[in-house]
Amino acid sequence: MSQGFTPLCKTSEVAENTLIQVDLPDHPPIAVYNLGGEYFATSGYCTHADAALCDGYLEDDKIECPWHAAKFDIRSGKALTFPATVDLDVYPVKIEGDQVLADLNPTSP
Ligand code: FES
């Protein structure tokens, strides 16, 4: 396994152009996205009031919160619309075999 990367799920668990929530024992939930075969990982909960983003609406590379319709850029985590003003955390992802892994403690750029 790659050092610093945590297995999240199998690639086959995330259908193309959908997302799932992954619950880990010692980390807040993660949202894992499959955008046209490319995988991404962000915080699993909206930064406004903690709605589960896996219940939200995927629009290209944006996720819309199911509660108050804030939108976030999945690639950057950027909060694009109110009422969310705080960006999502974004985790670097890599694929090894059929596993999706993410670095949950990325160092700042
Ligand atoms: S909880 Fe997501 S916009 Fe309010």
- First-to-last alpha carbon distance for the chain, in angstroms, is 23
Q: Residue 1 — pLDDT band, cuts 50, 70, 90?
A: very low
66: left (phi over 0), alpha (psi -120 to 50) or beta: alpha
pLDDT at residue 2, rounded to an integer: 46
C-alpha closest to that of 92 among 1, 23, 6: 6
CATH number at residue 41: 2.102.10.10
Q: Residue 3 — pLDDT band, cuts 50, 70, 90?
A: low
- Ligand 1 center to residue 62 CA distance, Å? 14
Instruction: Tell me if 108 is assigned to some domain.
Output: no
pLDDT at residue 106, rounded to an integer: 72
Domain count, the chain: 1
Cβ contacts of residue 26 below 8 Å, gap of 6+? Answer: none
Write out the residue range of the structural domain in which residue 68 sits.
Answer: 5-103
**Closest Cα to atom 1, ligand 1: which residue?**
49
- Residues 42-93 have pLDDT tens digits of 999 999 999 999 999 999 999 999 999 999 999 999 999 999 999 999 999 9
- Strands ordered across the beta sheet of 71-73: 57-59, 62-64, 71-73
Q: Which atom of ligand 1 is nearest to the CA of 83?
A: 3
